[in-house]
Amino acid sequence: MTATSTASTLSTVPSANAKSAANDTAVKKISVIGAGAIGAMFGGLIKRNNPDIDVVMIARGDHLETMQERGYVELRGDWGNVNAQVTASSEPSAIEGSDLVLFTVKTQDTATTAQRFAESIGDATVVSLQNGINQHILSQTIRKDRLLVGMTATNMAIVAPGVIECARRGVSVIGPASKDVTPEVVENARRLLDSSGLPVEASEQILGVQYNKLLFNTMGYASVLSATDFLSGGIFNRNWRNSVALPILQEGFRVLSAAGIPLQKASGGSDVLRFHRLMRILNVPGLDSLVRLVAQGPLHPPRLVFSVYQDLMRDRPTEIDYVNGEIARLASESGVPAPYNSEVVRMVHKMEKSKEKHFMSREEIAQHFRSLGAK
């Protein structure tokens, strides 16, 4: 089996670097449980860079059927289009004998899917790159000494059945879900994922890194309420930044501190500690307009298409309960208020239920959130 390509710009496809060299540990087979946007892109790129590894994609519906009919997944990005040859299935037996399993279903599907596949996972190392904090669910069915969790700041979408598009190549970080995992298991998994060509780091403090990313998303998912482009339309807009993003983020800081959860710094542009400083610096008079002008020019950052927006547009349930809802849950456990995050949860659920997705304007959302602060 070899990965094939249809693009003329192959040189810019993420390629494995010397540090990755996935196959010096003789990996023969990997599987992706939940081979949608994130999972199929990582699995497909690993296949491209390690043609000798068999890659099994566990999916369902027309996305599964298309991958089965074609025998490949199409990967689109700033490199053009490439195809990676994969085996696609919905059956647990298809993943038997895997060295590593990438676990990338939506958080609400975690428990049922982990139970269904647990036996076939066997001794494989399992890496979850999901949003939300799922280790307590996964560890009920998966060997504790093989369970790794993490976060990815990449941005992908299924743009058609069997076709995944990469909008942003950001950093991913993985780490042991418990002390039972040895550093060697972590490093082997990191190297294998890094051989996708998308940078993957390891952290001993993975829970703090996951919460860092979760806080980033609490602001991002609020930008979905008005279909606002998070950076150029949101963060670089003084009104939205100060009425929506900062109150949500600062509420998250207060809640995590009350819950005794330490935040860990993260690499890349979505580190919330760096982000918080940036938002305050942008309040220097005139600076945000200047930055917005630059951001609208040729150097403009790619638009983040948040997974909550993708889910709403596909009429799917979102993961809002596990992101802004996680902050609201921790707040209620710790006896502190979280009106901003709770309101994002309420509003997203309302949108999930309505057939016609009605996005309020950015100014209406900013005014609404200011009124919450005044209560």
Ligand X SMILES: CC(C)(CO)C(=O)C(=O)O
Nearer to ligand NDP, 209 or 366 (CB): 209
Amino acid in the structure at residue 43:
G
When CB distances are held under 5 to 8 angstroms depending on the partner's kind, the choice from ligand X, ligand NDP, none that residue 72 binds is none
The site partner of 109 among ligand NDP, ligand X, none (C-beta below 5 to 8 Å per kind) is ligand NDP
Please state the closest distance from residue 345 (CB atom) to ligand X, in A.
15
CB-CB contact of 149 with 210 (8 Å): yes
Between 95 and 200, whose beta carbon lies closer to ligand X?
Answer: 200
Residue whose CB is less far from ligand NDP, 209 or 282: 209
SS3 350: helix
Report the nearest approach of ligand NDP to the CB of residue 351 (Å). 17
Q: Residues 362, 226: contact at Cβ < 8 Å?
A: yes
208 with 190: CB under 8 angstroms?
no
330 interface partner picked from ligand X, ligand NDP, none, CB below 5 to 8 A per type: none
Minimum CB distance to ligand X smaller for 53 or for 199: 199
Contact of 66 with 155, CB cutoff 8 Å: no
What minimum distance in Å lies between the beta carbon of 308 and ligand NDP? 8
* End-to-end Cα spacing for the chain: 62
304: partner contacted, choices ligand NDP, ligand X, none (Cβ within 5-8 A by kind): ligand X
| Minimum CB distance to ligand X, residue 306 (Å) | 4
Provide CB contacts within 8 A for 255, sequence distance 6+.
327, 330, 331, 334, 336, 338, 341
**Residue ranges in contact with ligand X by CB under 6 A:** 131, 153-155, 168, 170, 217, 220, 304, 306-307
Contact partner at residue 170 from ligand NDP, ligand X, none, CB < 5 to 8 Å by partner kind: ligand X
Cβ 129 vs Cβ 42: under 8 Å: yes
Q: Residue 37 binds which one of ligand X, ligand NDP, none, with CB within 5 to 8 A depending on kind?
A: ligand NDP
Nearest approach in angstroms of CB 37 to ligand NDP is 3
State how far the Cα of 69 lies from the Cα of 216, in Å rounded to an integer.
38
Q: Which is nearer to ligand NDP, 175 or 247 (CB)?
A: 175
Report how far residue 102's alpha carbon sits from residue 35's, in angstroms, rounded to the nearest whole number. Answer: 9
**Binds 220, which of ligand X, ligand NDP, none (CB < 5 to 8 A, cut-off by type)?**
ligand X
State how far the alpha carbon of 86 is from the alpha carbons of 8, 100, 177, in Å.
21, 15, 29
Binding positions for ligand NDP, rule: CB under 6 A? 34, 36-39, 58-61, 63, 90, 104-107, 109, 113, 116, 129-131, 152, 154-156, 158, 307, 319
- Please identify which residue in the block is written with the tokens 């199409």: 74
DSSP state of 124: -
- For ligand NDP, the closer of residues 13 and 129 by Cβ is 129
Secondary element (H or E) of residue 25? none
| DSSP-based three-state secondary structure for 16 | coil
Closest contact distance (angstroms) between CB of 167 and ligand X is: 8
Q: What residues does 200 pair with on adjacent strands?
A: 172
| CB of 55 vs ligand X, minimal distance in Å | 22
Query: Per the structure block, which two tokens stand in for 273?
Result: 């500690």
